[in-house]
Amino acid sequence: MSTTTEAPLVRPGVGRGLADVFRDRYLLRLLVGKELKIRYRGSALGLLWSYVKPGVQFVVFYIAMGKFLQLEKATENYAVYLFSGIVLVNFFGEALSNGARSIVYNAGLIKKIYLPREMFPVASVWVSGVHFIPQVAVLLVGCFVAGWRPDWISLLAAVGGFLIIAMFALGLALLFSAINVFFRDVENIVDLLLMVATWASPVMYKWDMVQKVVGDFWFTVYQINPLTVAVELFHRAFWAPTTPGDFSVYSPPNLLTLWLPFGLVISAAVLLLGQLTFRRVEHRFAQEL
Amino acid sequence: MTSTPVAVEIRSISKQFILRHSRSIKEAVVWLAQGRRKDLSNRFHALKDITLDIAQGETVALLGLNGSGKSTLLKHISGVMTPDEGTVRTRGRVAGLIEVGAGFHPDLSGRDNVFLNGAILGMTEQQLKERFESIVEFAEIEQFIDTEVKFYSSGMYLRLAFSVAVHSDPEVFLVDEILAVGDEPFQRKCLEKIGELVDAGQTLVVVSHDLELVQRVCRRGIVLEHGNVVFDGDVSEAVSVVRSR
């Protein structure tokens, strides 16, 4: 080989997966920026809508669920309880449903120009993360109104819960977006999963209700779901500190010592599985789309 | 090896396309339940055992009738597709105009699209900032740069897309059928720009049906037919091979 050349010969179209996405953060940032701009194009309030919608949702919960249905009697600050779970499920739902569609949606680009294809699911999850911020802001307002007294464990639980969901959603988004290229049924499966997700984690009800009905074994199975762990972590972070007295009793046993690390491990495993599946089939995207 | 290093090295690549009939799990399950009786898919050889080298600074035209595999070959060079057998290796960044404005978003302004498209073609933030003025100037759309691209005429759209691609300055520049569009003066301007790049030692791979134009831009012609290379040599001879088919 000649000595005058700088770059080595490499095989085009063979990337390093997620590592490539984070090497090209500039493009990722532009793709995320594009999605955010498009979302509120032509609307007068723009990004303000991201605050208005969850704000109204919270007020509706407070009045309809807390006051009319009187769920406040069984669960103190039920609106905060409900909302701290809902924001996570919203984040998960948006990340997963947009992420799963991202490859097919960007078919035009993927068929024409090579770029790390993981870019699209990652951008979808990132965009959902940006939309998550106003919801947390509304939640925090609700918390302070309800007399929130956070401790350092609140911060740990919030960060842990977010990380679990972010990794879990990205892993599933990679997996489903890749399969969606071959079987468009996946979009419906994802919609179904998301419908179940809200009820398969303690968002509307309390975890001990599940334990009473199904027993310890199935409750353990129930807790393996990273959504359950993350939702309980968010309850620990946002809702529990608004209740008077010793609030550590509200969390399921070993939440921080066992289930937090366990949830992180499960989510990381799903992320790995998603990435491996994605890489196995991505070379066929251009011809299948 | 010759003194000029290779930019693209293609070693006996083959590509089969599976024309899948089924698009749903239901049909796949039925097919499995029936004991995989009939083949769910048709196979079709798009490229058959192709080997070639493109040296740095070469200008190559891929010619052939529709369905001969030339665009597929170009996609293998760009990395959009990977071969079933054999290897493709390239040196440096490979980019170009595969389709006018792939990656342009109609709801974004021209400015946003320049940055987005430029980054998609592999330019860094630094490079884009440096070249932005020049990109806009070449496209001749200064006064519309902050207008959403959906309001552009097709000519403006094309000019901006071409301008971004030509400024992306990759080591290997790919062009697929772009030069067929655009009005006469702009086409001339594009050809001049490509000529400049070629003089500066740019490697160029063009897919086109416009045989006249190809002869002006390229020196080497490769003729494909049913996924095979049937001619590889001087571009004017290649053109006469295509014409005789």
Summarize pLDDT for A99-119 with one digit per residue, the tens. 999 999 998 888 888 888 999
CA separation for the pair B237, A261 (Å, rounded): 68
- Quote the minimal CA–CA distance from B205 to chain A in Å: 15
* CA angle in degrees (0–180, nearest 5) for A157-A33-A178: 75
- Pairs of residues, one from chain A and one from chain B, whose beta carbons lie less than 8 Å apart: 112
Q: Does A2 touch chain B (CB under 8 A)?
A: yes
Is A102 in contact with A173 (CB distance < 8 Å)? yes
What is d(CA B144, CA B151) in angstroms, rounded to the nearest whole number? 9
State whether B112 and A14 contact (CB < 8 Å). Answer: no
Beta pairing partners, B64: none
Nearest to B120 among A1, A27, A288 (CB): A27
CB nearest B98 (choices: A41, A113, A288): A113
Which tokens go with A176?
Answer: 């489903």
Q: Which residues contact B37 (CB under 8 A, 6 or more apart)?
A: B31
* Partner residue opposite B80 with nearest CB, options A4, A5, A113: A113
Tens of pLDDT along A170-184?
A: 999 999 999 999 888
**Parallel/antiparallel/unpaired status of strands B59-63 and B220-225:** parallel
Q: What's the number of domains chain B is made of?
A: 1
Contact A288 B20 (CB under 8 A): yes
Interface of A with B in 132-191 (CB under 8 A): 183-185
B interface test, pick of A3, A287, A289 with most B CB neighbours within 10 Å? A287
Q: Which residues in chain B are contacts of A183 at CB distance < 8 A?
A: 23-25, 28
**Rounded-to-integer distance, Cα B20 and Cα A288, Å:** 8
Which residues from chain A sit within 8 angstroms of residue B3, using beta carbons?
2
Is the torsion defined by CA of A78, A83, A88, A93 positive or negative?
A: positive
Q: Do B92 and A1 touch (CB under 8 A)?
A: no
Q: Residues 214 to 243 of A: which have CB under 8 A from any B CB? A: none
Measured in angstroms, the CA of B221 and the nearest CA of chain A are apart by 23
Instruction: Report chain A's C-alpha Rg in angstroms.
Output: 21
Number of structural domains, chain A?
A: 1
Question: Is the Cβ pair A287, B116 closer than 8 Å?
Answer: no
**Minimum CA–CA partner of A41 in chain B:** B107
The reply to whether B97 falls in a domain is yes
Chain A residues with CB under 8 Å of B78 CB are: 12-13, 113-114
Taking contacts as CB-CB distances below 8 angstroms, the residues of chain A near B82 are 11, 13-14, 283
Residue B123 DSSP label: -
Distance separating alpha carbons of residues A31 and A26, to the nearest angstrom: 9
> Does residue B183 sit within a domain?
yes
Name the DSSP class of B5. P
Written as one letter, the residue type at A216 is: D
Residue of chain A whose Cα is closest to the Cα of B56: A5
Q: Specify the range with the lowest mean pLDDT, choosing from A22-36, A61-75, B48-62.
A: A61-75
CB contact under 8 Å between B3 and A185, yes or no, is no
Contact B238, B207 (CB under 8 A): no
For residue B219, give its domain range: 6-243
Q: What is the pLDDT of residue A2?
A: 37
Distance from CA of A119 to the nearest CA of B (A): 11
Q: What is the arithmetic mean of pLDDT over B168-186?
A: 78
- The verdict on a CB contact (< 8 Å) between B79 and A14 is yes
Residue A192 has pLDDT above 90, yes or no: yes
Smallest CA–CA separation between A281 and chain B, in Å? Answer: 11
Looking at the partner chain, which of A7, A13, A114 has a beta carbon nearest the beta carbon of B91?
Answer: A7
Q: What is the mean pLDDT of residues B141-162?
A: 88
Taking the CA of residue B218 and the nearest CA in chain A, the distance in Å comes to: 22
Token pair of A13, please? 């179209």
* Of the candidates B21, B23, B24, B66, the residue with the CA atom closest to the CA atom of residue B42: B21
Whether A172 and A271 have beta carbons less than 8 Å apart is answered as no
Quote the CA–CA distance of A135 and A94 in Å, as a whole number: 13
Question: Residue type at B98?
Answer: I
Contact flag A112-B23 (C-beta cutoff 8 Å)? no
Q: What's the pLDDT score for residue A3?
A: 37
The fraction of chain A above a pLDDT of 90, given in percent, is 52
pLDDT at B127 over 90: yes
Residue A6 domain-assigned (yes or no): no
**pLDDT surpassing 90 at residue A208:** no
**Which residues are within 8 A (CB) of B178 and not within 5 positions of it... i.e. 6 or more apart?**
B97, B99, B100, B158, B162, B165, B190
Domain membership flag for residue A64: yes
Helices (H), chain B: 25-33, 70-78, 110-120, 125-139, 154-167, 184-199, 211-217, 235-243
Backbone angles phi and psi of A114, in degrees to 5: -85, 130
pLDDT confidence of B87, banded at 50, 70, 90?
Answer: very high
Please determine, for residue A128, whether its predicted confidence score (pLDDT) is greater than 90. Answer: yes
Q: Which of A229-233, A261-265, B19-23, B127-131 has the lowest mean pLDDT?
A: B19-23
Angle among Cα A137, A192, B26 to the nearest 5 degrees reads: 150
Look at residue A70 and tell me if it is in a domain. yes
Domain carrying residue A212? 18-31+45-288
- What pLDDT score does B180 carry? 59
Which residues from A are below 8 Å from B116, CB to CB? 30-31, 34
Q: Which of B190, B217, B188, B196 is nearest to B205 (CA)?
A: B217
CATH number at residue B188: 3.40.50.300
Q: Could you give the ipTM of this predicted complex?
A: 0.84
User: Is residue B1 scored above 50 in pLDDT?
Assistant: no
Contact between chains at B88 and A2 (C-beta distance less than 8 A): no
Query: Is pLDDT of A167 > 90?
Result: yes
Q: Reading across the β-sheet that carries B6-20, which strands appear in turn?
A: A9-10, B85-91, B6-20, B41-55
Task: Give phi and psi for B56, each to the nearest 5.
Answer: -65, 135
Q: Show the tokens assigned to A150.
A: 């956070």
Does residue B41 sit within a domain? yes
- The more confidently predicted of residues B167 and A268 is A268
CB B239 within 8 A of CB B63: yes
Is B199 contained in some domain? yes
A34 closest CB neighbour out of B56, B99, B105: B105
CB B58 within 8 A of CB B9: no
What is d(CA A203, CA A230) in angstroms, rounded to the nearest whole number? 10
Q: Do B125 and A287 touch (CB under 8 A)?
A: no
Candidates B87, B115, B119; nearest CB to A11: B87
Residue A39 lies in a domain: no
